Amino acid sequence: MLKKFRITGIVQGVGFRPFVYRLAKENNLNGYVYNDSEGVVSLVKGEKESVEEFKKNLISKAPSMAVISEIIEQEINEAEREKEYNSFLIMPSPQGGERQVFISPDIATCQECVEELKNPNDRRYRYPFINCTNCGPRYSIIENIPYDRPNTTMGKFKMCPRCQSEYENPSDRRFHAQPDACSECGPHYFLKDNSGTEIKGNPVEKAKEFLKAGAIVAIKGIGGYHLACNANDENAVNILRKRKHREAKPLAVMTGSLLKARELCEINADEEKLLTSSTAPVVLLKKRKEILAPSVAPNNPYLGIMLPYAPVHYLLLDENDVLVMTSGNISQEPIAYKDDEAFSKLKNIADYFLGHNREIAYRVDDSVVRVIDGKQLILRRSRGMAPAPIELKNSRISVLSAGAELKNTFCLNKNNVAFVSEHIGDLANLPIYDSYKKILAHYEDIFSIHPKAIACDLHPSYFASSYARQLAKEKDIPLIEVQHHHAHITSVMAEKHIDEKVIGVAFDGTGYGTDGAVWGGEFLAADLENFSRKAHFTYLPLPGGDKAAKEPWRQAVFVLDKIFGRDAKDKIEKIPNADKNWKLLLQAAKAGINAPLTSSAGRIFDTASAILGICGRNSYEGQAAVMLELMACSVEAYYKGNVLPYEIKDNEEISIINILPLMKFLAEENISATKEKTAELAMDFHVTMADIILKTVNKISGETGIKTIVLSGGVFQNRLLLTKTLELLNDKYKVLIPEKLPINDGGLSLGQTAVALKRLESSLCV
């Protein structure tokens, strides 16, 4: 029997050709296998039973990192039928053809490579670039496809005879491992101080010594540079914070072992699975005890931990070591990934630079996740996750979706799959905007996607939306504008393959509304094409405009004045870091000067935090809301909270949720409160917000009959709010949250794609 198969999906860079080779040999089959621009092609000749067993095992025994989309039997031409097949070969990749291949994300070092790395008798002992077909860099080194060594940044390193022998040996784990190398023929590390002087000796060992002595070292890894220091050294951590201008935001750490991570934090089975996965993300975990430097994650019951995922990490950390590992960038810029760029931008932060001569083709920051209700909740999707495809239904037209302004990702789709980019960042910063355009061009090229339509946010001045409008005009293709919160909901619907009406609860900081106001606390009845706004929070002004997001005292002052009038002064004076000229701000806001209206749930959390005296100014995005949650968590073990006053008023077809009674209660009760009482009020606030969601959803469901609820938006990164909301809704409704994409704006681009596809489909059917 002679059969020819095309296998599509993530089948390059995951050891698929060697797997097919071994499978064919096991079944006594002859023929060939090769990569091409669409995936993998294999022709096999042998007994019928053996061919059928081969096909079955292509799926059942595929490499762990492979994701097979389809196995298609192809026609065999006359020349192929007449040819003699006396062996099974891995053939060279043909050039040309339309690219339809998927690309593997970068894969954490496998256990077999770790064992070799630590084995003094192994020829790759302590070689910091050890890898095999089961692990190592993928997306970050790929410059072109098919995934062959010349098309990666490993192309300039010619294999030595021993590596070449492994590469060509079907029984070897490195059979056709494209980044294969050793100390004789592969890349190497170097160490320099911040004046550019190279340090003599073993660079990794020297860097390890400097870290233990309290130095800050910029370390080049898989997708860019980290800034690292000893997490037990309070002085080193404070110096890093001061130099990086990162005053309060928690820092992620890397532990030398799972055992050490367990000493620091409580880790359940789901969290352990994430920590030890090939993705190797930063996982937010509940602290067990405070044994690290206090400044690592000050006044925070959670710690972001990751385990070593690159060989160099295993060399830098002993099992009981803990290093701060934060992104190697300066504030508001993307992670540095080129050596010259890193030195130029980080030399005033790092004492030393541990770099290497293998180029990174495209930067990828660490992914960040947490576990909620037994499910993965992604906060940042990047290394180890992107650019893995997400399956779509009925994706006949290729669309470019530009994404949001903050936590930007873009999305391109083709042949019923979507490619959502790695985390790019906040596009208001020029270097990030430039990076956005470069990565977008790379995706279009490498996946051979030529968009026939473009989708973007409604906002008139988002950089991503402006760029999308410009491209649509240049290319003369349709532009579909999608409301921000509708996209939040449809992103989850697309991920879950839902094409029915849902009640969408979209809570975030800001999103341009169809009425020109700043939305952010929205209850929608939505399908993939359209939505109707069923409820929202009372509109309140944002005194000072965008400044109100950074300075929560501004809206808090307005709210307290609105509630208490002349009696507000003593309560306003309890707001931390409020400006002394707050009366002038009030006058301007009341006159409508630079005070746009908002229904934002994010600003409600900020205002509550300020009124309770917890945080009046943010030193990082969302700090006031984070500190409010952490204050509530401090009494979570013994205090479950009460529902405080609020009102839901019907206004024609839209319900308006009035939170002023809630704010009044918080302000009155907190006048002479102890820290414990303030924490209990913070818990009450979270319980009340969850109750608002339940009551509003009940009302909308009663009116519409809809029983499927979607929760999305950055406010739901709040563990306390999300868990309490799920507890209230799960018994009555089918509740969906995203698991493959971030719940914040990082998932928005897929939602834009889903809406665009549905609207284009409807227009074609007319």
Q: Find where tokens 């349709």 sit.
A: 478
Please check whether the domain covering 383-494+744-765 is classified as CATH 3.40.50.970: no
Q: What pLDDT score was predicted for residue 97?
A: 56
Cα–Cα distance, 327 to 573 (Å, whole number) = 38
**Region(s) of the chain under CATH 3.30.420.40:** 504-736
Residue 169: other Cβ atoms inside 10 A: 13
Cα–Cα distance, 192 to 708 (Å, whole number) = 57
Cα–Cα distance, 286 to 305 (Å, whole number) = 10
Q: What is the pLDDT of residues 572-601, one digit of tens each?
A: 988 999 999 999 999 999 999 999 999 999
Q: What is the pLDDT of residues 643-654, one digit of tens each?
A: 999 999 987 789
Question: Is pLDDT of 766 > 70?
Answer: no
Q: Which two tokens stand for residue 706?
A: 């809809």
SS3 of the chain: helix, strand, coil, percent, to 5: 35, 20, 45
Listed in sequence order, the DSSP H helices in 251-291 are 258-264, 269-275
Strand partners, 353: 192, 218
Bridge-based pairing state of the strands 479-482 and 453-457: parallel
Listed in sequence order, the DSSP H helices in 387-545 are 430-446, 463-475, 484-496
Q: What is the pLDDT of residues 215-231, one digit of tens each?
A: 999 999 999 999 999 99
Sequential DSSP letters for 135-187:
BB--GGGB-SSS--GGGBTTTTSPPPHHHHHHHT-TTSTTTT-TT---TTTS-
Cα–Cα distance, 699 to 648 (Å, whole number) = 10
Cα–Cα distance, 144 to 117 (Å, whole number) = 29
Question: Is pLDDT of 765 > 90?
Answer: no
pTM for the structure as a whole: 0.92
Q: What is the pLDDT of residues 342-401, one digit of tens each?
A: 999 999 999 999 999 999 999 999 999 999 989 999 999 999 999 998 989 878 899 999
pLDDT band at 176 (very low <50, low <70, confident <90, very high): confident
Q: Which two tokens stand for residue 223?
A: 């997708």
**Region(s) of the chain under CATH 3.90.870.40:** 189-369
8 A C-beta contact, residue 314 and residue 308: yes
Cα–Cα distance, 636 to 714 (Å, whole number) = 22
**Region(s) of the chain under CATH 3.30.70.100:** 2-90
Cα–Cα distance, 323 to 113 (Å, whole number) = 22
The average pLDDT across 746-755 equals: 98
Question: Is pLDDT of 15 > 90?
Answer: no
**Strand, coil or helix: 410:** coil
CATH of span 189-369: 3.90.870.40
Cα–Cα distance, 389 to 102 (Å, whole number) = 7
Strand partners, 72: 6
318: left (phi over 0), alpha (psi -120 to 50) or beta: beta
- First and final CA of the chain: distance in angstroms? 48
Task: Give the burial class of 121: count Cβ atoms within 10 A of its Cβ; 0-12 exposed, 13-18 middle, 19 or more buried.
Answer: exposed
Q: Which of 746, 749, 758 is nearest to 456 (CA)?
A: 749
Task: Give the burial class of 575: count Cβ atoms within 10 A of its Cβ; 0-12 exposed, 13-18 middle, 19 or more buried.
Answer: buried
Cα–Cα distance, 298 to 131 (Å, whole number) = 37
Q: What pLDDT score was predicted for residue 147?
A: 81
451 CB-near residues (< 8 Å, 6+ apart): 398, 399, 400, 412, 444, 475, 477
Question: Is pLDDT of 4 > 70?
Answer: yes
For 13, phi and psi rounded to 5 degrees? Answer: 85, 10
Task: Give the burial class of 323: count Cβ atoms within 10 A of its Cβ; 0-12 exposed, 13-18 middle, 19 or more buried.
Answer: buried
Cα–Cα distance, 398 to 421 (Å, whole number) = 15
DSSP-derived letter for residue 238 is H
**Strand, coil or helix: 284:** strand
Strand partners, 71: 7
Half-sphere exposure of 496 (CA within 13 A, CB side): 21
Q: Which of 757, 708, 704, 717 is nearest to 736 (CA)?
A: 708
CATH topology (fold) of 2-90: Alpha-Beta Plaits (3.30.70)
8 A C-beta contact, residue 18 and residue 9: no
Q: What pLDDT score was predicted for residue 611?
A: 97
8 A C-beta contact, residue 319 and residue 256: yes
DSSP-derived letter for residue 93 is P
Q: What pLDDT score was predicted for residue 36?
A: 85
Q: What is the pLDDT of residues 243-258, one digit of tens each?
A: 999 988 999 999 999 9
Q: Which two tokens stand for residue 271?
A: 């969290």
Q: What is the pLDDT of residues 483-530, one digit of tens each?
A: 999 999 999 999 999 999 999 999 999 999 999 999 999 999 999 999
Bridge-based pairing state of the strands 189-193 and 352-356: antiparallel
The average pLDDT across 298-324 equals: 97
Q: What pLDDT score was predicted for residue 444?
A: 94
Cα–Cα distance, 377 to 397 (Å, whole number) = 29
Q: Pick the residue with more confidence: 184 or 100?
A: 184
CATH topology (fold) of 504-736: Nucleotidyltransferase; domain 5 (3.30.420)
Q: How many residues does the chain have?
A: 766
Cα–Cα distance, 55 to 51 (Å, whole number) = 6
Strand partners, 323: 230, 254
The average pLDDT across 12-37 equals: 88
| Mean pLDDT, the chain, whole residue set | 94
**Strand, coil or helix: 536:** strand
Cα–Cα distance, 669 to 250 (Å, whole number) = 30
**Region(s) of the chain under CATH 3.30.420.360:** 383-494+744-765
Cα–Cα distance, 665 to 651 (Å, whole number) = 24
Quick one: CA dihedral 488, 494, 496, 500, positive or negative? Answer: positive
Q: Which of 135, 178, 186 is nearest to 160 (CA)?
A: 186
8 A C-beta contact, residue 403 and residue 482: no
For 89, phi and psi rounded to 5 degrees? Answer: -125, 150
Q: Which two tokens stand for residue 471?
A: 């491209």
**Strand, coil or helix: 539:** coil
**What is the helix (H) or strand (E) element at residue 628, kind and residue range?**
helix 623-633
Cα–Cα distance, 426 to 463 (Å, whole number) = 10
